[in-house]
Structure 1
Amino acid sequence: MVWKLFGRKKVSTFDENIEAARAAGGGESLPVEDTRAAIEELSQVVKNDPEAVEIYLALGSLYRSQGEIERAIQIRNSLIVRPSLDRKFKARAWFELGRDFRRGGFLDRAEKAFEEARALGQSSSSIHQEMARLAAERGAFEIAAESYGQLNLPLPQAHYLVRLATDQFSDGEDSRAHRSLRHAIRAYPGAIEAWLEQLVQAYKSGSANKVGDILGQALEHVAPELRFVLFEGILQAITKAEIFKERAAGEETEWSHACADEKLVAKIIPIMECQAPDVLILYYGALFYLKINDQDNAQAWLEKSMVMLPDFWLARLELFELSRADQTLTPFFREQLTFFIDRARRVRRFFCRRCGLKRDQLFFNCPRCRSWHSIAFRTDISE
């Protein structure tokens, strides 16, 4: 019956919709208008022929991709209770139900659904990957890392080893945490999150030399388009240290022994100067100079970045801010200008190269499309 349906007039349309639905089931979001159209079309076909199991499964995945978890679950359950349903389709229905439960946050139910799918013969590798995701969402990072390693997926393996390390640092298990970070880098040398965590820990310990050594190694292994994450992460660590020191009022905190800004910048800048010309390296170098109030060098680096990319809005904004003290402004104009500059600095600077999601914080796995290491910097404000 299913194949007869696909042999009707709109063959290519239904095939394309099913492929889109399966892709959505893997965690990727489709454009809302496209998904809605597909849902309406598939709903009509299912209504006309309830035995079209493939289309029914695809429809459930489309509902899930739109966040309509209850409707997706209803579709899976309506298939599972069919007494004459083929075993392979029942396994698929249980598997997709597990994905629905996981998306809805019902992790225990998801695990049971995946076990049912396994018992009915669902692919062990697909089950294994879903169980790894479940472990990660439960915070069982060691299990998640081990599972991804068994699946030969080194990037997520490294990511969850870093998550494990941060938990170990929080629990005072520094030796174990450093081992986890080294393990992450061995698993995936380009693991930007592992290098960044090593940098932050070296910064916290007060060793500017160690920060420099780690940064030099990291820049050799990390993809060039991701190097800005290292510099952004260091600057965020400096800001955290400043906040904690101000609030501590002399009391000991985890940031009390952080590197002095002058020593840190003295180690970082020569390493940045050795890199191939890059607009973001110049921009972040200027920000490091501003941390130690070296406005002349900061201006020089910002001007170089503007030569490389005249439309780089944040570099232009910082240059404008540096020149503001030389301008004669009325109090009203100065107040309005300060307001607009502050608002401009809050514009989301990062985006996902794959789905376009904009964020104001670093991310290693896109919250929307779940792609790894897809973060990019918005050098063009129209991006």
Structure 2
Amino acid sequence: MYFKKILLAIVLLGLVVAAYFAYFVYNAMLKPNTAFNNERAYIYIPTNSTYDDVREQLKPLLKDIDMFDALAKRKQYVNNVKAGRYIIKKGMSNNDIINSIRSKNIPIKVSFNNQETIEKLAGRVSSQIEADSLSLVQAMFDESFLTKNKFNKATALGMYIPNSYEFFWNTSAEQFRDRMLKEYKHFWNDERIKKAEAIGLNPSQVITLASIVHEESKQSDEQPRIAGVYINRLKVGMPLQADPTIKFAAYQLPKYKNTVIRRVLNVHKEIDSPYNTYKHAGLPPGLITMPDVSAIDAVLNYEKHSYYYFAADATKLGYHKFAKTLSQHNVNARAYQRYLSSEGINK
């Protein structure tokens, strides 16, 4: 009889322990533990973060952080924190959350276009991934990298083809740069390379010319015609005389910092710079801005014609009038100059 009571007590104790364990498992692993009302929340775990860093981000998102701690320790997550961008969905249990932030790093779309300099590109990219702008600039201007891949500081921006790309948030500066080199090589496929060779230019030179075309016109339907004008000039050794390069040269000087040149004057054309295409024939040393893909392809597929001149069209703003002769160009140019004067644009 006494033995039966002991056995019964052991069974009851076992049931209590089992019930407690089941209660713990339910609360620690299976019970919903989110405290936010949105359908989802994201946490960003920087490189070299500790569990305490992760915990600080999770505290406002969870109902019971202590129960989460208990399971995180049991599942050894506290010693296995991984950087990245992770999603927590409304109603997730602690087990679901740990599984998510342990192994489900979610990629993001990194987008950029029309960046005028490497520094501005770095600033744009750093707002989207973990790498800061300083580390990005250093990686992008790394001399050994540039030399190895046949770039220099003047052409480095041309390696970054504007588009949207998928990256993990915790991508480093070097990883971003190296990935963009692969995208650059992918962009310059056999077809584009052959087209560049047919007009006597390499990819960097095409992008340099495309940057000028891009600054002259944002109209994709007009860009091939403008590219054709510049190709015609290059073929006969005529200076490009591109106003955007004059502006670029001016903006490198302290005198023109934080100014906007809306009208290129003779004084600007006298600036001593390799980017002054009024003084120097051929292409400038590098691109003057990041061109759209449409401008790059406009150069590669330039319109074949007999125009050597163009001037902005005052009757159709954003577009240009083209001319085969200097006399006709002067007529078009004077018409646009009168328009600028009528608008009070004198510099």
TM-score normalised by length of structure 2: 0.29
More strand per residue: 2
Question: Which protein, 1 or 2, shows the higher relative CO under an 8 Å CA cutoff with sep ≥ 6?
Answer: 2
- Tell me which structure has the larger Cα radius of gyration: 2
More helix per residue: 1
